[in-house]
Structure 1
Amino acid sequence: MEIKSAVALVTGGAQGLGLAIACRLADEGATVLVADRNAEALATLQQGLEGVFMDVTDQEQVKTEVAGIVDRHGRLDILVNNAGVIFSEPFVNIMNPSGIMHDYDRFRASLTVNLDSVFIVTAAVVEHMVKRRIKGAIVNISSISACGNEGQTAYSAAKAGVNAMTVTWSKELGRWGIRTNAVAPGFIGTDSTHHALNETVLKHIQTNTPLRRLGQADEVAQAVIALVENDFINGTVLDVNGGLTI
């Protein structure tokens, strides 16, 4: 796909990894819509990025905002499902006798924001792509944790689900020329990573990564660009993890 002049939507794009992806798409010449529920971050977006206040777990709001984007710009060619929240909780915690097992409500909440949101936004966008016969590109941001990471039952389950939907959609949507791929980053040095993991854990991760460092947000953005531009990549989950396997 030619990124120049394409219209792209990046969810969770007002900061961190999503912002790096949005900026890279804009640098390549795309018209970029940044969807986020952080109004303050949206207000500080750099020139050239259009902010859209959106809660990706609210189906009706997503449908309304996506329709508004299509009305304003005439089309949507690229969707990057980046919105999500890293979540860690052990399945069994003997240090908490009053709640030794993983909390079910927190499990469901993690799946809602990390898995359901991808379904909700993609469904809204693909409806417009199919009706307008647009040969679009969808890139889902997965995670190395999709392989199963200790202490991340909910997050791992959600990202494994994202990978499964990616492959399923590549088969179903390919007949309309809509490609679906995913990028599965390892541990990237974003604020969210540093908030979710303490320095001892991060140091352990770096030691066990063959490149001996965390990844950079722009390195993930480069992978997204590659998947969008190559018209014969479909149904791929691209690992960007420096050689680390969990």
Structure 2
Amino acid sequence: MKVEGAVALVTGGAQGLGLAIARRLADEGATVVVADRNGAALANLTAGLEGVSMDVTDPEGVKTTVASLFERHDRLDILVNNAGVIFSEPFVNIMNPAGIMHDYGRFRASLTVNLDSVFIVTAAVVEHMVKRRIKGAIINISSISALGNEGQTAYSAAKAGVNAMTVTWAKELGRWGIRTNAVAPGFIGTDSTRQALSESVLKHIQANTPLRRLGHADEVAQAVIALVENDFINGTVLDVNGGLTI
């Protein structure tokens, strides 16, 4: 399908990687709705992007917001599930005798925002797409951490779940002309990456990446465009990591 003329919803799209994706979709001619819970970031969106306040972990709130978007635009053709929070915590931390094991509450919280949210938003959107016979594309933003990353039990588990749902939905929704794919970025030079990882860790990652650098947000956005526009790609998790995993 062509991005030009399509209506797209990008979650977590008011800043960082999501904003780069939203801008690229708009540059390619899509009408882009940015859903985020950061009111200040939504207020500062550039011209051409429509902002809506939405908590992707609230099923009823998401249903209401998505229904209003279909009423306003009459369709959604593209869904980019980008909202999420990088989270790191070792499974065993001997430096903290009072809480040596990974906290279960934080584990569940990470799964809620990084995995449950993808299910919640996609379910709300696909219900309307199927009822209205809309053929479209779902792009889930996964992560290199889905392969298992030391110190990221919860985040890795969540992103592995996103990959599994991507393949499952590709099999189920393809009959209605709805394709589901994922983009799995490596380490991208966004603020969230720099906040989550120390400078020494980032230098180690760059040294072990064949291209010897972090990725750029627009390179991930390019991958999203490619998956949307190729109508015979379905159920693919596209790595965008500079060769770090080869």
Partner of 2:25: 25
> How much identity, in percent, do the aligned residues show?
87
> What is residue 205 of structure 1 aligned with on the other side?
205
Residue aligning to 1:9: 9
TM-score w.r.t. the length of structure 2 is 0.99
Alpha-carbon distance in 1 for matches of 2:228, 2:207: 32
Which secondary structure state, in structure 2, belongs to the residue aligned with residue 193 of structure 1? helix
State the match for 2:119 in structure 1.
119
Query: Which segments of 5 or more consecutive residues in structure 1 lack a partner in the other structure?
Result: none
Residues 55-74 of structure 1 aligned to structure 2 (within 5 Å): 55-74=55-74
Hey, what does 1:96 align to over in structure 2?
A: 96
CA distance in 1, matches of 2:218, 2:194: 17
AA aligned to 1:167 is: V
Within-5 A mapping of 1:151-230: 151-230=151-230
Q: What SS does structure 1 have at the residue aligned with 2:128?
A: helix
CA distance in 2, matches of 1:172, 1:12: 26
Question: Which residue identity is paired with 2:105?
Answer: D
1:2 Cα offset (Å): 1.1
2:158 and 2:245 mapped to 1: Cα distance?
18
- Structure 1 SS opposite 2:14: coil
In the alignment, residue 181 of structure 2 is paired with which amino acid?
A: N
- Number of matched residues? 246
Give the corresponding residue for 2:40.
40
Matching residue of 1:49: 49
Distance 2:124 2:137 in 1: 14
**1:109 CA displacement:** 0.1
Q: Which runs of 4+ in 1 moved over 4 A?
A: none
Distance 1:13 1:29 in 2: 17
Residue 41 of structure 1 aligns to a residue whose secondary structure is helix
Note the aligned Cα RMSD (angstroms): 0.6
- Shift of residue 219, structure 1, vs aligned partner: 0.1
Q: Which residue of 1 aligns with 2:235?
A: 235
Structure-2 separation of matches of 1:131 and 1:5 = 21
Q: 1:116-142: per-residue Cα shift (whole Å, max 9, x none)?
A: 000000000000100010111000000
- C-alpha separation in 2, matches of 1:245 and 1:200: 19
Write out per-residue CA displacement over residues 216-246 of structure 1, whole angstroms, 9 at most, x where no aligned residue: 0000000000000000000000000000029
Distance 1:199 1:15 in 2: 22
1:137 matches 2:134? no
Three-state SS of the structure 1 residue aligned to 2:192 is helix
TM-score, normalised with respect to structure 1:
0.99
Q: CA deviation at 1:91?
A: 0.2
